Structure 1
C-alpha cells in the first residue's frame, strides 16, 4: 500500500544527517558525562557546546542564553513559572490567549491556582490574537505575556513582533512558544521582542525528548521546576541528554540552511492542496488565516462529517493526517482552538489538519485529493449529522 505522511505538525521523521550525528554519541568513545573533566566527559561537553551554538544561531541569540530541556512542554513551563515567580513582587498578572498549546494554557491556569491573576484573550475568526486586545488587557500588575508564534492546529502566524514591542515598552516579560514556527519560518528573538522563547527538536526532523528555552540575558527569571544539580548554568538540573542535544543542534543547523528552499516548495504544495480541497468539495471551510499561515500547513472543517471517521478512513488508504493537535486527538470533544475561533460546535467536529514535509511531492497531494472524494462521499452518506435530504440533523449534533 502506498503510504503518505501528512502529519508533520505532530512530529517529523529524524533527518538522516541528524541520526548520523546522534549515533556518534551513542557508540565509541563519545558516551561521557558532560560534567566529567576527563577525556570522555570533555568530548561530550564539546558536543553540547557546539549544539548550543547552532541553536543560538538559528534564533539570533547568544549561546549562553540557551537552556536545553526535555522538549517544548518543559521549556514552556520553565519559562512561564520562572518568569511569574521571579517577578511576583512587581505584580501577579499574566496574559495569554485562548488558542495556546496546553503546555502554556495549563501552566498559566496553574498559576491561577497559586494566586496569580490570569487573562485569557479571545481570538478572531482566523485564530489570531488582536494586538489591541493585548494592550487593553495590560494592567500595572502585568509582569508576563505569553503568546505562541504560530498555532499548531490551524497554522495561523500571530502578530508576535507587535506584541513584543508592546511588552518591551511597558517593561513586561514576553514569552513566545515557537515550537511550531522554529525551523519553518524565520525566528529571531530580537525581531520578535522575545525575552523567553521555547523550541522543540522533533518538529524539525530532530529527535523527540529534547528542546530548548531561550532566556534573554538580564531577564528576571528563576529556575522553579527541576532541582538537583548545577547543569545548564544552574538553570536546569540533570545530566544533559547528549545524543538528543547533538541531534537538536544538527536539526537546527539544517533547518536554517534549507529554510528558504523548503518554504518555496512547501508553500506551493500547501496552496495546491488547499485549492484542490476547496474546489472539489462542497460544505468545507479553510480554517486559520488564508495568508498568514505556516508554509506547510492546511486545515479544514468539513460539514456533516466526524473528523475521527475521516482520519481513520484516510489511514486505511495509507494517508496519515490529523484531526487537530496530536496532544488532544484522543478527546471526543471538538478542538478548543476551533471553538475559540467561533466555529460552531457541530462543524468543529469535522476538522482535518494536513501538514506537509520536505519529502512530500505534488503526486502525494494529487493522490490525497483523489482519495478524499470517495471517502468524503461515503462518510457523508452514512453520517448521523445529515438527514435523508442531506440537511444537517442539528439535534444529533447538539446531543453530542
Structure 2
C-alpha cells in the first residue's frame, strides 16, 4: 500500500497496537500447549489466564466467566441457541428477539430457526424502541421456553448508543435473557456487564487493537449456560473445545489492558476530532446528512450521506484521495449494499451512506485531509448538477 494514506476505518478493524504486538512476539517463544501439565504447558496456561483477566477487566467481568472464541461471530453463534442447561437440567429458549439494527452476527439468529427470530423496531433516530420491546415481552409465550433478547450497546454503523440497561429491566421483568453485542463499545465508552445487567456479552479483539481471529463470550455466571457450539477436548472449561489460539489470546489481553488506560481523556480527544470533521463537512456541503447526530453516540463515528452520491462511488472516490473509510459494515465479504440500519430508521434504503471512524492514532492532519477530500468530492457532485 502506498504511503501518505489516511486510515479512518477503525470500526472495521483497528491497527495492531504496539502492546499487543510486543506481547504476541514474546508469546511466540513459548512452545507449550496450555492444556499440558508440564512446565512449558504451565507457562502457556499462565499467559492465557493473564489474558483472561485483562480482557475480563475491560468489561467488569469475572475472568472465570469468560470463554475465548475465534471472534465475535463465533461467540454470537455460541450464545444464540434455543438449547441451554442449568446444571444438568435442560432449559429451552422459546424465541429470540433482536433489534432491527443488529450486526448480522446477531441478526441472523445463530442456531435459532428463522421462525423463532422476531425483530424489535427502532425509532427514526436509530434507538431500539423500548415500548415495542415491552409489548413483545408481554406477549411472549412462556410455554415454548424463555425469551432471549439480542441488543447491541453501540451500533457499528451510526455509533448510536443503545439503552441496554433500560432494556435489561424489561427483559428480566419478563423472565428473559439479554445478550449484548459490545464489540463497538469496549474502549470507547465505559462498559460493565454488571451495571448493564446483561446476561451475556460478546466482544472482539481486532476492534481494540488486538489481533484478528479471537474474541470472547462473557457471562454473568455459569449456572445457566448455552449448549457448546464446538465440542471436543473440553478446553475453556468445556464451553469451547479446541486448542486455544494462544498467541492471539495473549495479544487480545495486552490490547485490552492498554485500552483500559486513560479511557475518558483519550476518547474526549477523539470526539473533538470527530466534531471538527462534521462541522467542516457541513460547511462544505450544507445538505450532508449525519445519521444519529441528534442522539448519544460514541465519539469516534460519523455515518453520513451526501445526497446524489452512491455509497460505492463515494468509497472509491475517497480511496482515490488516499482516505480509507467504509460503506457501513465491513463484515460482508467486501460487498457494498443497502444499509439495513438506515432502512430500520425509516430512511430511503437507496441513500448512499459512508462511515468514517476514528481511533487513538487519528491526528488533526488526518482530519484535515479527510475534510479536503470531502470538499473535493462535494464540489464535483455540485458541478455534475446535484444541488447542495
TM-score (norm 1): 0.90
| CA distance in 1: counterparts of 2:184 and 2:48, whole angstroms | 23
User: Given that residues 309 and 379 in structure 1 are in contact (C-alpha distance below 8 angstroms), is that contact kept between their aligned partners in structure 2?
Assistant: no
Map of 2:233 onto structure 1: 229
> SS where residue 45 of structure 1 aligns?
helix
| Equivalent residues of 2:122, 2:344 under 8 A apart | yes
Q: Deviations over 1:246-291 (max 9, x none)?
A: 1111111111113112111111011111111122203211112434
CA deviation after TM superposition for structure 1 residue 89, in Å: 5.1
Contact 1:56 1:63 in 2 (8 A): yes
CA distance in 1, matches of 2:237, 2:119: 33
1:220 aligns with 2:224: yes
Residues 141-186 of structure 1: CA deviation (Å, up to 9, x unaligned): 3421110111101111100011112222232111001111112111
1:50-89 correspondence to structure 2 within 5 Å: 50-81=50-81, 84-86=82-84
SS in 2 for 1:33: coil
- Deviation per CA, 1:349-378, whole angstroms, max 9, x where unpaired? x21100001111122112211221122222
Deviations 1:100-134 (A, max 9, x none): 011111135x5134xx6321011112211021111
Number of residue pairs the alignment of both structures matches: 377
- Aligned counterparts of 2:28 and 2:227: Cα–Cα separation in 1: 29
| Offset at residue 230 of structure 1 (A) | 1.1
Q: Which runs of 5+ in 1 are unaligned?
A: 383-387, 393-400
Measured after TM superposition, the shift of residue 346 of structure 1 is 2.8
Mark the CA change 1:305 to 1:101 in structure 2 (over 3 Å): closer, same or farther: same
Q: State the alpha-carbon separation in 1 of the partners of residues 346 and 21 from structure 2.
A: 42
Q: In structure 2, list runs of 5 or more residues that go unmatched.
A: none
CA contact (8 A) 1:323 1:329 kept: no
| C-alpha distance in 2 between matches for 1:248 and 1:197 | 16
* Aligned counterpart, 1:244: 248
Task: Measure the CA separation in 2 of the matches of 1:275 and 1:31.
Answer: 52
Cross-structure match for 1:361? 363
Q: In structure 1, how many angstroms separate the alpha carbons of the residues matched to 2:221 and 2:357?
A: 35
1:103 corresponds in structure 2 to 105
Displacement, 1:330? 3.3
Partners in 2 of 1:262 and 1:7 — Cα distance?
A: 18
| CA-CA distance at 1:379 after TM superposition | 4.2
Cα pair distance change 1:57/1:98, threshold 3 Å: same
Counterparts in 2 of 1:260 and 1:89: CA distance versus 1, 3 Å = closer
- The 1:181–1:367 alpha-carbon spacing in structure 2 relative to 1, beyond 3 Å, is same
**1:137 corresponding residue in structure 2:** 136
Match of 1:16 among 15, 18, 42: 18
Q: CA–CA distance in 2 between the matches of 1:306 and 1:297?
A: 20
| Residue 57 of structure 1: how far off its partner (Å) | 1.3
Residue 37 of structure 1 corresponds to which residue in structure 2? 37
Instruction: Name the counterpart of 2:182.
Output: 178
Alignment of 1:251-330 (within 5 A): 251-328=255-332, 330=334
3-state SS of paired residue (1:228): coil
**TM-fit CA distance, 1:380:** 5.2
Distance (whole Å) between structure 1 residues aligned to residue 336 and residue 381 of structure 2: 18
The secondary structure found in structure 1 opposite 2:319 is helix
2:191 maps to 1:187: yes
Distance 1:154 1:355 in 2: 10
Secondary structure, counterpart of 1:86 in structure 2:
strand
SS of corresponding position for 1:146 = strand
Identify if the C-alpha distance between structure 1 residues 171 and 354 changes in structure 2 by more than 3 Å, giving closer, same or farther: same
Residues 119-138 of structure 1 aligned to structure 2 (within 5 Å): 119-138=118-137
Q: Shift in Å at residue 240 of structure 1?
A: 0.7
CA 1:328–1:90: 2 relative to 1, 3 Å: closer
Determine the C-alpha separation between the residues in 2 that align with 1:370 and 1:391: 19
Q: What is the Cα deviation at residue 327 of structure 1?
A: 1.4
Q: Distance in 2 between matches of 1:76 and 1:219?
A: 19
1:205 to partner: Cα distance: 0.6
**d(CA) in 1 for partners of 2:74 and 2:246?**
17
Report if the CA contact (8 A) 1:127-1:156 is conserved. Answer: yes
Cα RMSD, aligned residues only: 1.8
Task: Give the deviation of 1:341 after TM superposition.
Answer: 1.0
